[in-house]
Amino acid sequence: MAEQTFRTLMRTTDVVVTAAISPVAVAAIGLADLYARFPLWIGLGMGGGAIALSSQDTGATAAPVDDGTGSGRGRETAAAAANRDQAISTAVVIGALLGLPFVAVGLLFGEAAIALLGAPPAVVRLGGAYLAVVFATAPARHVSLVAARALQGTGDTRTPMYVNVVANGLNITGSVVLGLGLLGAPALGVVGVGLATAAGNVFTAVALLVALATDWADADLVVPSDPVVARQLVAVSAPSVAEGLASTLAEFPLNSILLGFGTEVNAAFQIGRRMYQQVTGPLSRGYNVAASVVVGQALGDGDPGRARFEGWATAALGLCTVGGVGLLLVAGADAFVAAFTDDPETTRYAVDFARVYGLTGGFLATFTVLQGALRGASETRVPFVARTSGLFGFMVGVTYFVGVHLDYGVVGAYAGIALAYVWMALVVTVSFGRSDWAGRATRLMTERGSLAED
């Protein structure tokens, strides 16, 4: 949670710095960040596979060694440790390779990508330059996300926090100094903000790789050589990657529909969502990772009952805390929105959006936590179905049908957002309660040799 708080602060600083430069700079970074979400979700997806396998194999590694009774637990422990190192190393390599196409896209088609969104020439020029700089370090961004999740899977959530707090601190400082030209540095504007982000990506990747390559971490980097581990890693990661990409793609039609209701409505949506993410995002993401770790390690330790209990317990904790914060947001929506805008029309809609997000916060927290719990069991297909159907079927579909087709306007957006989160929570709750995710994890661990066959 501390790690995510600093990451959110870094992104907020970028917005503040670019706002001090010009409105064109804000628009340029905002549009470029739409594309920057693609490598983010790929890195998170591969990191999801890494945290699933590393948490399970860490649990199996912690099993007691052979006591002479012929149980085979000593062999099982050694195999699990080797598989964990294979999974982490393979995920790092695949993540780095998947980042290379983004380097080419940023250098060759950065401005074209921004122009595709209908931006004016000044925004295209700045946004293209920013995208080229940030995409140049996409491989490092992927490596940092994968390595952080892999370490978290072993139970070490502090090392990624230390590294990311330092990296984001350097990023914040670099954005202010290079963006505004302070302390004798040249005023590079949007490019300076991009250089600070790129430097932060490289620093994080290098620091986490050093932790994995030394005695700092329990896991080790090895040469990837196990096709079974690689295949399982891809099978577990692919739905998570697809889930993130679908989430990003859904932003385009949704924003188009909201713009059709009026510029003030779209601006209000961005404000309402940003407020909710600012106050609840670090909590939800922290619980998401924690659920993956405790469920995966319990399954690796051969205790599906404990895995199920800890999954439900973490979801209950998320529901109470994030849901409670959401209700506070509902009560204080007027005051929160006043800090972002003083335009009367935008304020009115932003307060409504903030209240919708606040009222459905418990549902979104439940989805996020149980998504992490299912990921810890290598079950990433159900969250993919839940999020994709919720976003396109309700958030986009209901918003269009009720708001445009039935001509209820922004009310359709309120209904679409609320129904999407209720649906997503319902799908993962039913799956976690009734599906055989524990059996799936056990079969995968047995297949790669982390568990001895009975």
Q: How far is the C-alpha of 435 from the C-alpha of 447, rounded, in Å?
A: 20
For 79, 101, 170, 209, 335, the CA distances from 204, given in Å and listed in that order, are 29, 20, 11, 9, 36
pLDDT tens across 117-147, in order? 777 888 889 889 999 999 999 999 999 999 9
Alpha helices in 403-451 (DSSP H): 410-434, 437-447
Q: How far is the C-alpha of 360 from the C-alpha of 100, rounded, in Å?
A: 38
Stretch 357-367: mean pLDDT, rounded? 95
pLDDT at 155: 86
pLDDT at 387: 96
Stretch 325-333: mean pLDDT, rounded? 92
Query: Does residue 190 sit in the same domain as residue 248?
Result: no
pLDDT at 276: 84
Q: For the purposes of burial, counting CB atoms within 10 Å of the CB of 303, is it exposed (0-12), middle (13-18) or buried (19 or more)?
A: middle
Average pLDDT over the chain reads 88
Q: How far is the C-alpha of 106 from the C-alpha of 324, rounded, in Å?
A: 41
Residue with the larger pLDDT of the pair 116 and 342: 116
Q: How far is the C-alpha of 314 from the C-alpha of 318, rounded, in Å?
A: 6
| Residue 379 confidence (pLDDT) above 90 | yes
Query: Does residue 163 sit in the same domain as residue 290?
Result: no
Whether 159 and 215 have beta carbons less than 8 Å apart is answered as no
The four Cα atoms 193, 199, 200, 205 give a dihedral, to 10 degrees, of 150
Query: Does residue 255 sit in the same domain as residue 160?
Result: no
Q: For the purposes of burial, counting CB atoms within 10 Å of the CB of 131, is it exposed (0-12), middle (13-18) or buried (19 or more)?
A: buried
| Residue 163 confidence (pLDDT) above 50 | yes
Share of the chain above pLDDT 90, in %: 55
Query: Does residue 162 sit in the same domain as residue 237?
Result: no
pLDDT tens across 100-116, in order? 999 999 999 989 988 88
Query: Does residue 104 sit in the same domain as residue 186?
Result: yes
| Residue 216 confidence (pLDDT) above 50 | yes
Q: At which of 225, 241, 265 does a domain end?
A: 225
Question: Which residues lie closer than 8 Å to 401 by C-beta, 6 or more apart?
Answer: 412
Reported confidence tier of residue 395, pLDDT bands at 50, 70, 90: very high
pLDDT at 70: 45
Local structure of 377: helix, strand or coil: coil
Backbone CA torsion sign across 276, 14, 91, 147? negative
Stretch 272-281: mean pLDDT, rounded? 82
Residue of 398, 46, 441, 34 whose CA lies nearest to 243 = 46
Query: Does residue 446 sit in the same domain as residue 305?
Result: yes
Query: Does residue 266 sit in the same domain as residue 181?
Result: no
| Residue 48 confidence (pLDDT) above 70 | yes
| Residue 220 confidence (pLDDT) above 60 | yes
Q: At which of 175, 193, 225 does a domain end?
A: 225
Query: Does residue 334 sit in the same domain as residue 357?
Result: yes
Q: For the purposes of burial, counting CB atoms within 10 Å of the CB of 141, is it exposed (0-12), middle (13-18) or buried (19 or more)?
A: buried
| Residue 14 confidence (pLDDT) above 80 | no
Q: Residue 305's CB: how many other CB atoms inside 10 A? A: 9
Q: At which of 225, 249, 279 does a domain end?
A: 225
Question: Which residues lie closer than 8 Å to 190 by C-beta, 6 or more apart?
Answer: 18, 21, 25, 28, 29, 126, 127, 129, 130, 179
Q: How far is the C-alpha of 219 from the C-alpha of 212, rounded, in Å?
A: 6
Stretch 157-169: mean pLDDT, rounded? 91
Query: Does residue 62 sit in the same domain as residue 99?
Result: yes
Name residue, tokens 């209904």. 415
Query: Does residue 188 sit in the same domain as residue 313?
Result: no
Angle, CA of 314, 145 and 85, to the nearest 5°: 85
pLDDT at 62: 63
Residue of 308, 312, 309 whose CA lies nearest to 438 = 308
pLDDT at 237: 93
Name residue, tokens 């996409």. 138
Whether 192 and 152 have beta carbons less than 8 Å apart is answered as no
Stretch 322-342: mean pLDDT, rounded? 87
The answer, as to whether pTM is greater than 0.75, is yes
| Residue 204 confidence (pLDDT) above 90 | yes
Considering its fold, how many domains does the chain have in total?
A: 2
Alpha helices in 301-380 (DSSP H): 304-331, 333-338, 344-359, 361-376
Which tokens belong to 317? 């904790």
Radius of gyration of the chain (CA): 22
Q: How far is the C-alpha of 39 from the C-alpha of 144, rounded, in Å?
A: 12
pLDDT at 219: 81
| Residue 64 confidence (pLDDT) above 70 | no
For 18, 42, 265, 340, the CA distances from 27, given in Å and listed in that order, are 9, 24, 17, 16
Query: Does residue 169 sit in the same domain as residue 130?
Result: yes
Query: Does residue 250 sit in the same domain as residue 201?
Result: no
pLDDT tens across 343-360, in order? 788 889 989 999 999 999
Q: How far is the C-alpha of 428 from the C-alpha of 84, rounded, in Å?
A: 27
Stretch 56-67: mean pLDDT, rounded? 70
Angle, CA of 90, 438 and 286, to the nearest 5°: 65
Residue with the larger pLDDT of the pair 11 and 264: 264
Residue of 40, 42, 37, 53 whose CA lies nearest to 379 = 53
| Residue 76 confidence (pLDDT) above 60 | no
Q: DSSP state, 451?
A: S
Domain of 171 in residue numbering reads as 1-225
Residue of 310, 442, 374 whose CA lies nearest to 51 = 374
